[in-house]
Structure 1
Amino acid sequence: MADDTAATIATDARTAVSRDIRKTALDPNFWYPVARSEDVRKGKTHRCSFSGDPIVLARGRRGVFALEDRCAHRQVPLSAGVVEEETIRCGYHGWAYDASGACVSLPYAADCSRAATGVRSYPCREAYGLVFVFPGDAARAELTPFPDVPSATDSRYKIRYLNRRAGCHYSFMHENLMDMNHQFLHRRLMGGIKTYFLGSRRGDAWAEAIYSFRRVSGRQPFGENFILNRGKWRFKRAPLSAEALATPPGDRMVIRTDYPYQTLKFFTAGAREPALDLWNCYIPVDRAQKINHTFGMIMIKRPAKHSFLLDLFWPAIVWFTNGIFAEDRWICELEQAAFDAQGEDRNQEIFPAILDLRSVLIENGLPLPDRG
């Protein structure tokens, strides 16, 4: 964090890319969350998908496993079947598949002249209250780093899970979170917020932007006589001077896309651990990748003293974040509608942090297959 305040905007070194960002597919060779752990109940199936490929999850005695959600026989969804021990039995003819996707039981096998074929299985792991699958080349799963989210296993943090769908390409979601210049969208919830852009940086597979914020107009959450200063609400005895308004507060917000994941960390002045830690992943649902499902976690650190206050204010935090997310989804779906009407990305983007982000998403993504 020591170098954050000195982060520079390297506009001359940006890589030129030609592929339309909205026609860029997400690389499947990563670990992706596709369900909440609590939604995959023992003895039950759970349907999900990645880029139009149907996946069924099931919880057996040994944990959760993932298979292609199609029986090899008549192609009906295995999610309409029955979980028995460590297998899923198709609800049509009773073909049973184990966690490897092999057909291990066929009630009328003795009467058949051919052996039953299996279905695709997906590497599957459970962590942080989420179920992850590896939808790409299964041989690469063990060599691919699994998401590291330390705050999710730290008892000092309280977690709010994000589990919501939006009718837009995943890139709109990355851009929306990275670009904090859109606070005007949330003016009814956040009032007059002054955004201080402190710089952006990027690497081959990552991009980040650093901000600070100050409320300069509108009512404060706790009344007009209070102001957020260094992560605490303090009594405001006089209006802020022009000099103070020109100087960013000591708090820092770092928003980063480490392909394909995205994080937001808010640090109070001088702190080494985030007071708020957000981890998001946007999963393409359909083949055209015009619908995404967000799985994520908002992790808020409990106060060192009176930690119960976080629980007390939790309903208000949920209400506030629901309002923010609803507005973000609405505006991103309008962006998708504009793209669909125009048939191409006509955005005239000028903000350095988003130019960096776009390069990372395109260079690490894949051409979206022409599905006709």
Structure 2
Amino acid sequence: MTDPWRPRPEDGSGQLTDLRRVGIHPEHWYPVAESRRVRAGKVLAAEFAGERIAVYRTASGAVHALEDRCAHRQVPLSMGVVEGETLRCCYHAWAYRGNGHISQIPYLPKGTSRPPRGVRAYPVREKYGLVFVYPGAADKAAAAPLPDLPAYGSSTHRTMRFSRTVGCHYSFMHENLLDMNHQFLHRGVLGTIRPELLGYDDGPDFLQARYRFTAGGGRKDRGAGLLSGEGKNGRDTPDVLTIRTQYPYQTLQLVPEGATVPAFSLWAAYVPLDAEQRTSRVHGLLTIAKPRVPGTLQLAWPLIRRFTERVFAEDRGAVEAEQRAWDEQGGDWNQEVFPLILRLKEVLRSNGVPLDPAAASRRPACTQALPAEAAAPPPALG
């Protein structure tokens, strides 16, 4: 009988495709910017897997995303100027509509037609305070669902948003969150806790695991208790975490044992930036249930923020170390023994797309190094 946890080979050789050489599938909606950063009349430079994207908001408030290269001299359109509903290149003032078509060339001789080719326009949607683009075939965008986050924006919850650059392949982030056996890493923040895998569900494009967390002593960051709602019943109780990779997104919910409403929920998307997909932008929404006493969460907010920053910084240090090892060894030498992660790798592998082997040679030298922001301490959550 075939072991359901054992990944199936990708080809007849019996060898698995290295997951770190698998690209994220473009036929999904990916956040590339926070809405608050795309101000009216401004242009923002963004990236998806080596594709440079200019995101801008017109005078009417509409957001557009265009290939970040003018069709004329390939100068980035993110250096351009928004005039009303058009975007002008900063170099020769060629004007573009939101669909990528050239609407005007100021010095074009009379009787001369404009060049037939403009630039690529990406389907765009705004939701949850984020700007999403659809990098796949544009005609498939309408049928592709955005993530469903019913608690976002409700009067009973408050959301903390974060966006950070992490120097690793997106798959390391999925593995980090789903594998709760790594809590020893956070012993200085969470104290000693015992995670117990309660069960799992899986399918072709998802994997969901449930853990029970039991405190085992040790010093804990005060923000951790405030976030999980400890002490509401006069005593500490175990927490049940449900973590789900629903390709390509990931979610986590914490429900104190005996409760019916999650104390908090986390939604995260890991968006590759470079063509080799060794650098990712993490966009996260942490939605926290408000306590019964008005104003309590507002007072606790700075402590929760500090706690989440500490946990994320420790996780980032670990996954970036994993990526460095992969780079130094030229492949995946991991000896994984946790069946859940073996199954997760298969879900990510089977839903991804092959990376272009020529990606590295095409990648500009200026993107070889991780941006300075990624190596800096994480900014405050907001």
Task: Give distance in 1, aligned partners of 2:38 and 2:7.
Answer: 42
Q: Residues 44 and 270 of structure 1: is their aligned pair in 2 closer, same or farther, counting only changes over 3 Å?
A: same
Give the whole-Å Cα distance in 2 for the aligned partners of 1:122 and 1:333. 30
* Post-superposition offset of 1:201: 2.2
CA distance in 1, matches of 2:7, 2:336: 14
Q: State yes or no: 1:286 paired with 2:274.
A: yes
Opposite residue 145 of structure 1, the aligned amino acid is P
Take 2:195 and 2:325, find their aligned partners in 1: how far apart are those partners?
27
Moved over 4 A (4+): 111-114, 228-231, 233-236
Post-superposition shift, 1:250?
A: 5.6
Change (3 A) 1:45 1:75: same
Q: Does structure 1 residue 342 correspond to structure 2 residue 342?
A: no
Secondary structure at the aligned position of 2:161 is classed as: strand
CA distance in 2, matches of 1:315, 1:264: 21
Match status 1:360 vs 2:347: yes
8 Å contact kept, 1:263–1:280: yes
Q: Which residue of 2 aligns with 1:171?
A: 171
Q: Within 5 Å, give how 1:57-76 maps onto structure 2.
A: 57-60=55-58, 61-76=60-75
Matched residue type, 2:254: F
User: Which secondary structure does the structure 2 equivalent of 1:341 belong to?
Assistant: helix
Cα distance in 1 for residues equivalent to 2:216 and 2:308: 21
* Distance (Å, rounded) in 1 between the aligned partners of 2:276 and 2:111: 39
Please state how far the C-alpha of 1:154 moved relative to its aligned partner: 1.6
Q: Deviations over 1:69-99 (max 9, x none)?
A: 1000000000111001111100000100010
1:196 match: secondary structure: strand
Closer/same/farther in 2, CA of residues 160 and 143 from structure 1, 3 Å limit:
same
* Offset of residue 268 of structure 1: 2.3
**Helix, strand or coil: the match of 2:323?**
helix
Q: Deviations over 1:164-190 (max 9, x none)?
A: 000000000000010111111111111
User: Partner of 2:309 in structure 1?
Assistant: 322
* Cα distance, 1:282–1:221 mapped onto 2, change above 3 Å: closer
Structure 1 residues 152-161 or 177-186, which shifts more?
152-161
CA distance in 2, matches of 1:68, 1:204: 32
Q: Which amino acid aligns with 2:108?
A: A
Query: What letter corresponds to residue 149 of structure 1 in structure 2?
Result: L
Q: Distance in 2 between matches of 1:14 and 1:348?
A: 14
Residue equivalent to 2:4: 12
CA distance in 1, matches of 2:97, 2:90: 15
Q: Give 2:83's aligned residue.
A: 84
Partner of 1:354, secondary structure, is helix
Match of 1:275 among 263, 269, 280: 263
Residue 108 of structure 1 aligns with which residue? Answer: 107
- C-alpha spacing 1:108/1:163, structure 2 compared with 1 (3 Å): same
Specify the alignment match of 1:161 in structure 2: 161
CA contact (8 A) 1:230 1:250 kept: no
Deviation readout 1:185-221 (Å, 9 max, x if unpaired):
1111111111111122210000011111121121355
- Find the counterpart in structure 2 of residue 42 from structure 1: 40
Residues of 2 paired with 1:291 and 1:216: CA distance?
36
- Partners of 2:184 and 2:124 lie apart in 1 by 41
Identical residues among aligned pairs (%): 46
Q: What RMSD over aligned residues (CA atoms) do the two structures have, in Å?
A: 2.2
SS in structure 2 of the partner of residue 338 of structure 1: helix
Gaps of 5+ in 1: 1-9, 241-248
Deviates more, 1:324-333 or 1:262-271: 262-271
Q: Which residue of 2 aligns with 1:4?
A: none
- Report the TM-score when normalising by structure 2: 0.86
Find the aligned partners of 1:235 and 1:123 in 2 and give their Cα distance.
50
| Deviation digits for residues 127-170 of structure 1 (CA, Å, limit 9, x no counterpart) | 01000000110010001112111111322111110100000000
1:214 match: 214
Aligned pairs for 1:182-331 (under 5 A) are 182-219=182-219, 231-232=230-231, 251-303=239-291, 305-331=292-318
Is the CA contact 2:188–2:219 (under 8 Å) kept in the aligned structure 1?
A: no
Deviations 1:319-343 (A, max 9, x none): 0100100111111000000000111
The whole-number CA distance in structure 2 between the counterparts of 1:314 and 1:250 is 23
Letter in 2 for 1:266: L
User: What amino acid sits opposite 2:252 in the alignment?
Assistant: L
- Indicate which of 353, 356, 368 corresponds to 1:369: 356
1:66–1:124: 8 Å Cα contact kept in structure 2? yes
Distance in 1 between the 2:256 and 2:303 partners?
Answer: 21
Structure 2 stretches of 5 or more lacking a match? 10-15, 362-382
